Amino acid sequence: MRTEPDISREALAALLLREYGVEAVRFTFIPKGFGSHLYAAHLADGGRFFVKMVRPDPAPMVASDPAFYLPLTWNLYHKGLYRNLSYPLRTRSGEFVSSFAGRPLVLFPFIEGETLEDDNLWTDALFATLGHAVGTIHRSTPEIGVEQPFVEDYEVRFRPLLLDAIPELRDTGGEESAGRRALRDALLPHEAEMRAHLDRLAELQARVREIAPAMVVCHTDIHGGNMMLDPEGELYILDWENAMIAPPEHDLFAFVEDPRFSSFLPAYERAYRRVAFSAEVFGFYFYRRNLEDLADWVQRILHENHEEAQDMEDVEWVRYSIAQWEFLKVRIGAVEQALDGRRQVCSAVVPVS
């Protein structure tokens, strides 16, 4: 979250010393991300740690469970299954999570580097590196050893939030923020279209459940902002909060249409195996991610934001989400066409028991 919370840095330093044995001499607030407040904790010797205070999320979004993703990333690193990732440090008592100012707090090693939001940074070679990384993670599924797996259930938990927002926005009584008015102007003219896309998502949901694809460990939110190149050019995958056991398509849907996917796929299959992908499973994730993001922006504007500038930025994201609707059906068709060229009997993906 981009605005620094009103906290005592002295109290935060005391907690890190008490719970982790980390003696922080100062903190730098990092104004990035949407679901957490982030700090770099600086030590006297120049070392650093990454502090994440997680937002209690009232929105019914697709989400993971700390009881899954924290031991998952710990095990991936410490079992040597995949080490270029952010993983939690344990407290003195062996816990993955502590608490500060009424919020869960997780401490991570600090990874120095540059995130990859800039598309110009993505060479064919980097796509191949990512393919190998994702294949390695998917291959690790039988060995993760997490007692409480968080498994994709294909639910659409945000549907009521979007539908309830319509009558809420129609109610113009009382004093209104500029952000709420802008959201009304952006969303209400597209109500029928939104309902149609929610219905299409329900159809894809039923179809994917019928297909019952095999499952692997998935990060589920692989994009440039969640990846980093360190000074030696090593690729790291960050922010595993939404990790779950899910179809491989959940990790690939964001870039399956990119022309550089032709560099990703051979590296992925060398690290893992050949997978019989489904255009309908990709389609489910196209629709769900778009509408889930829309619901998140709406939730923030209506119930969470406290600054007009943040409202206006989020309204722009609402407009962006809506602008993508005309391409969703086309995207499924394009993926179906691309997959037609590689349909053949494939080795089954190892299922999770």
State the total domains in the chain: 1
Q: What is the tens place of the pLDDT at every residue in 176-227?
A: 899 999 999 999 999 999 999 999 999 999 999 999 999 999 999 999 999 9
Cα dist from 75 to 62, 78, 310, whole Å: 23, 5, 37
The sheet that has 235-237: what strands, in order across it?
114-115, 227-229, 235-237
pLDDT band at 346 (very low <50, low <70, confident <90, very high): very low
Angstrom distance (rounded) from CA 75 to CA 88: 10
Quick one: tokens of 285?
């994730």
With beta carbons less than 8 A apart as the criterion, state whether 336 and 279 touch.
yes
Q: What is the tens place of the pLDDT at every residue in 243-269?
A: 999 999 999 998 888 888 989 999 999
Q: Read off the pLDDT of each residue in 75-90 and give the average, rounded to a whole number.
A: 98
Range with lowest mean pLDDT among 53-62, 131-140, 160-169, 203-212: 53-62
Q: What per-residue confidence (pLDDT) applies to 205?
A: 98
User: Does the structure show a pLDDT above 80 at 331?
Assistant: yes
Could you give the percent of the chain with pLDDT greater than 90? 76
Strand locations in 101-234, DSSP E?
103-109, 114-115, 216-218, 227-229
User: Does the structure show a pLDDT above 50 at 88?
Assistant: yes
In a domain, 130, yes or no: no
Mean pLDDT over all residues of the chain?
91
In a domain, 332, yes or no: yes
User: Does the structure show a pLDDT above 60 at 343?
Assistant: no
Number of H helices, E strands in the chain: 11, 10
With beta carbons less than 8 A apart as the criterion, state whether 282 and 256 touch.
yes
Angstrom distance (rounded) from CA 153 to CA 144: 20
pLDDT band at 347 (very low <50, low <70, confident <90, very high): very low
User: Does the structure show a pLDDT above 50 at 94?
Assistant: yes
With beta carbons less than 8 A apart as the criterion, state whether 278 and 213 touch.
yes
Q: Taking the CB of residue 254, how many other CB atoms lie within 10 A of it?
A: 16
We report the CATH number of the domain holding residue 187 as 1.20.58
In a domain, 170, yes or no: yes
pLDDT band at 129 (very low <50, low <70, confident <90, very high): very high
In a domain, 47, yes or no: no
Q: What per-residue confidence (pLDDT) applies to 352?
A: 46
pLDDT band at 65 (very low <50, low <70, confident <90, very high): confident
In a domain, 23, yes or no: no
In a domain, 2, yes or no: no
Buried b or exposed e, range 228-241, using 16+ CB within 10 angstroms: bbeeeeebbbbbbb
DSSP symbol at 64? -
Per the structure, the complete domain to which residue 334 belongs is given by 159-213+276-339
Q: Read off the pLDDT of each residue in 31-59 and give the average, rounded to a whole number.
A: 85
In a domain, 26, yes or no: no
In a domain, 321, yes or no: yes
